[in-house]
Amino acid sequence: MRISVISDVHFGDPMCQLACFDPPDSKQNPTIGPKYDDFRAAAGQNNDFLILLGDIFDFSIASYEETYAVAKVFFQQLQRDKIAKQIIYVSGNHDFDMWHFYEHDVNVIRRINEGRPPRGFRYSVPGILDCRSNHSGEAFTLFGVNRNPDSSWGYGGLFLDKITRNEDGTGTETGFAFAYPNVYLLTDDYTVLLTHGHYLEPYWSMLSEWALKIAGADLRIGDVLDLAEMVAINFPLNQLACSGIGQAGPLTGVVQPLVQEVKEQNLARVKRYLDKLDDEIDRITPARSLLDLEEFARDAACNYGKKWVVTQLEKVKATRYSEDFVHTKDTLDRFRRFFDATLLEIEYMNQQTQLAVSNPRYVIFGHTHEPIPWGLDNAPWTESTCGQPLTLCNTGGWLVHKDKTTGQMVPCGGGVFTYDSTKTPAMTSQVVA
């Protein structure tokens, strides 16, 4: 069994190094990027599975058509180079809509087309890759999902399979299976949890955290969220930031640079917009007299609000390229909450099947674009709530960014993790600089 894992490709972002438009800002002539050959060499050929661990399409940067055009070039090249027989897709925060598309297709569109009523989304569908020597049966399963009798490997048959076809209908499809938010890699020695990692950042898990604090009793879910509940509660803000901004037409061109300016602590435009917002509030609520106390109170509140917003934004620290992110107390606390939900999922799977999944000892995630190789002596780790140490590894990313020291645009480092059951050690990684 041979498996390769990558994440944070960000198709549609002009900084993507695996495929992009030529020239990058032209939105024309999608082509393979400068780091593709390095990726191919690290991933190897004829993998049984390639796991895409989130932020593959970047719907928050570019439109659906732009991201798809660039991704199509990559996946067609992937197929020509015989990188993998099948692909397992785990959405992240920039491509959360891929999971939403999948669930909408399966549970709404297809059922209505068949004259049947829609059914509820499955907010969590774990993928299980069983590489244990005593395992019999299929190597990969999607828990709770019926196998597709029309597919050679039991899954696929959905919209993304056709991305490797030509517009005239020729060409061969590629089988994609969708899991979210976790894939479990089971070996004789350990279990590896593979997840994108965005729920470790405040914004993406904010609704579930505050819902428990404010409306916990009314939620009727107990003291600990399971993964499906966590995904469902965070769905509104996740989808807004995933695709709402990227599909906002002219507004996209305003919001995206604004977000980058905030990350760089350049708040001049934010302050200008806040002043204009204050002016607009004054316009629609004119003062009735020079001694209007209501107007005075409103102005005081607006001024306080503007100062509070600016103060909060000044505290913003970019998660990307941060070596400190996985070491902070807030991140580790958030990780433990996510891992508690993961343990509930494992417990439920073990109750319903004969899988006997052990608790993970390693976690491979992405999101931060800061690679942490497998087998690193000083790799970050945390102790889970069950008292078991967890070693954290990171897949890095495939963009270029401005180096803080030199000011030059440099690759952030894309990690390719490879599992080969015929080798010792079975799991290795390579960072493509």
Q: Within 10 A of 106 (CB to CB), how many other CB atoms are there? A: 17
What is the token pair recorded at 70? 């660039």
Q: What is the pLDDT of residues 57-108, one digit of tens each?
A: 999 888 999 999 999 999 999 999 999 999 999 999 999 999 999 999 989 9
The residue among 170, 174, 182 whose CA lies nearest residue 80 is 174
pLDDT of residue 133: 92
From residue 116, give the alpha-carbon distance in Å to each of 112, 123, 161: 5, 21, 24
CB neighbour list of residue 347: distance below 8 Å, 6 or more residues apart: none
Q: What is the DSSP letter of 86?
A: E
pLDDT at 290 over 60: no
Whole-angstrom Cα distance, residue 179 to residue 65? Answer: 23
Amino acid at 160: L
What are the boundaries of each domain within the chain? 2-198+319-432, 206-314
pLDDT-above-70 percentage for the chain: 93
pLDDT of residue 404: 73
Segment 296-314 mean pLDDT: 73
Question: Packing angle between helix 268-284 and helix 293-314, nearest 10 degrees?
Answer: 160
Q: Within 10 A of 178 (CB to CB), how many other CB atoms are there? A: 24
Q: Within 10 A of 161 (CB to CB), how many other CB atoms are there? A: 18
Q: What is the pLDDT of residues 379-407, one digit of tens each?
A: 777 666 666 788 899 999 999 987 777 87
Amino acid at 131: C
What is the token pair recorded at 57? 């399409």
| Residue that has been written with the tokens 């990188």 in this structure | 83
pLDDT at 291 over 60: no
What is the token pair recorded at 300? 């005081």
Helix (H) or strand (E) holding 252: helix 252-263
* Residue pair 199/169 in contact by the 8 Å Cβ criterion: no
Beta bridge partners of 391: 362, 381
Looking at every residue in the chain, the average pLDDT score rounds to 88
- Using DSSP bridges, classify how beta strands 30-32 and 127-130 pair: parallel, antiparallel or unpaired: unpaired
Q: What is the signed CA dihedral for 174, 180, 181, 185, rounded to 10 degrees?
A: -60
pLDDT of residue 293: 67
pLDDT at 286 over 70: no
Phi-psi region of 60 (alpha: psi -120 to 50; beta: other; left: phi over 0): alpha
- Phi and psi, residue 85, nearest 5°: -80, -40
Q: What is the pLDDT of residues 147-168, one digit of tens each?
A: 988 888 889 888 899 999 988 8
pLDDT of residue 6: 98
Which CATH class for the 2-198+319-432 domain? alpha beta
CB neighbour list of residue 255: distance below 8 Å, 6 or more residues apart: 245, 248
